[in-house]
Amino acid sequence: IPEADIFVGGPRPDKHNLVASYRGKGGPNAPKPLLLLAHIDVVEALKADWSPDLDPFVFTERDGYYYGRGAAADKALASIFVANVARLKREGFVPDRDILIALTADEESGPANGVDWLLKTHPQLVDAALVINEGGGGTLRDGKPLFNAVQAAEKVTTNYTLRVTNKGGHSSVPRADNAITALADALGKVGRHHFPVKLNDVTRAFFAQTGPLEAPAMGRAMAALVANPADAQAAAVVAGDPKYNSMLRTTCVATGLSGGHATNALPQLAEANVNCRIYPGETAEEVRLALERVVADTSVHVLIKSQRPPSPASPLLPEVMGPVARITRELWGPMPVIPVMSTGATDSRFFRAKGVPALGVSGLFSDPTVDARAHGRDERMAVKSYFEGQEFLYRLTKALSSSVVAQ
């Protein structure tokens, strides 16, 4: 790729991003580019937290797995995008639209998010009609592929501060209006509160298609909930799985706590951070007001500490879902391709906020019972899954960058 088509830059020297443009046929009628997006930062990891014979920052191949921080999130996808474009280049493939690769910084809640920075300062570099990113992937059960997921929606992260102030005093003369006690009561109420069940097009399709693959009781509950989201009994069964519960509603959980200034003084300030994952369509202010109603104590102030912009669901475009389904069948045989809503956040949210379709699709299969290690101890990616995902994304990239998309 010519140097003129490669950009490296960021808000500071240790927060650079790389954008490379693989040029297509061009011309006045050429469709807008396809953007392959992956972040290359990782979450922190301590060697002491991993198995003694593994170092999180030493890439290790063992027993059919690649181990290392970022093996699952998100360096597998980043390396696959680069390898596939190199393969297309060697083959002399000329796409009908430009293919952009963006390898970005600080997706993992850092201070200088690469996608946000690029869209604000160099939007022309990532001006695309479609974004392929992380968030989707295949599920294995007993070593066999079960379904391939396409992430089309995600919840929005908002942090709230619950704050109680008091004039304080000597601890030998306690009063009823104690800041720490009031905060503790408020957090107990928040912890026990369940926001209403909601379904959108993505989650409705997810539960409808996942139900037949689940144990009979869970499958029946999913079907009943899709038919009637107000079915409290079905909702209780589905919500019994924490992962599914988080897909049903806004969730809020206390993640930080501070209060008091001396062991022999009444607290003058007590604060807690409450991290909420807001269901698409709800606003941060609506959730703040709901928390106020739940707490029901005027001495506890509920403040928005930080919030991210709304992230509407991406449309399940036939010109994308068709090739995804076809290539899935080619590689793994007949199995469902299921849309999914992430309970965590990805960089797709920045494009969705601007109306650009962004889908999480990778073809990287894992078993959630043993391989759900992203951000955790002994993070890994199966070697077989890695290379199968590479082939899947090679074929998908080629299909999505051609003017006639096979269905």
How many Å apart are CA 336 and CA 213, to the nearest integer? 10
In whole angstroms, how far apart are CA 392 and each of 141, 385, 396?
A: 19, 10, 6
> Which residue from 339, 334, 333 is spatially nearest to 316, judged by alpha carbons?
339
DSSP one-letter code for 312: P
Provide the pairing of β-strand 265-266 with 144-154: unpaired
Phi first, then psi: give them for residue 148, nearest 5 degrees: -110, 125
Beta bridge partners of 360: 133, 151
How many Å apart are CA 119 and CA 398, to the nearest integer? 25
To the nearest 10 degrees (0 to 180), the angle between helices 179-192 and 284-295 is: 110
DSSP one-letter code for 53: T
Decide: 100 and 126 in contact? Cβ < 8 Å: yes
Neighbouring C-beta atoms of residue 194, cutoff 10 Å: 13
Which run of H or of E encompasses 231?
A: none
How many Å apart are CA 289 and CA 278, to the nearest integer? 13
Provide the pairing of β-strand 380-382 with 358-360: unpaired
Decide: 213 and 146 in contact? Cβ < 8 Å: yes
Q: What is residue 406's predicted lDDT score, i.e. its pLDDT? A: 36
To the nearest 10 degrees (0 to 180), the angle between helices 216-227 and 232-239 is: 130
How many Å apart are CA 100 and CA 115, to the nearest integer? 13
- For the chain, state the CA radius of gyration: 24
Give the position of tokens 């994308």: 320
> Which residue from 231, 238, 202 is spatially nearest to 339, judged by alpha carbons?
202
Distance of CA 13 to the CA centre of its chain: 26
Q: pLDDT (tens digit, 9 = 90+) per residue, 9-62?
A: 999 999 999 999 999 998 888 899 999 999 999 999 999 999 999 999 999 999
> Which residue from 175, 11, 40 is spatially nearest to 105, judged by alpha carbons?
40
Q: What is residue 309's predicted lDDT score, i.e. its pLDDT? A: 81
Q: Which residues of the chain have pLDDT under 50?
A: 404-407
Phi first, then psi: give them for residue 66, nearest 5 degrees: -100, 125
Q: Residue type for 186, please?
A: A
Decide: 385 and 365 in contact? Cβ < 8 Å: yes
Phi first, then psi: give them for residue 299, nearest 5 degrees: -80, -15
User: Which residues are within 8 A (CB) of 127 and not within 5 positions of it... i.e. 6 or more apart?
Assistant: 32, 33
Q: Is 371 left (phi over 0), alpha (psi -120 to 50) or beta?
A: alpha
In whole angstroms, how far apart are CA 167 and each of 38, 106, 263, 270, 295?
A: 50, 41, 16, 12, 21
User: Which residues are within 8 A (CB) of 344 and not within 5 positions of it... i.e. 6 or more apart?
Assistant: 154, 155, 277
SS3 state at 390? helix
Provide the pairing of β-strand 17-22 with 6-9: antiparallel
How many Å apart are CA 33 and CA 54, to the nearest integer? 40
Neighbouring C-beta atoms of residue 107, cutoff 10 Å: 24
Neighbouring C-beta atoms of residue 224, cutoff 10 Å: 18
> Which residue from 192, 189, 196 is spatially nearest to 249, judged by alpha carbons?
196
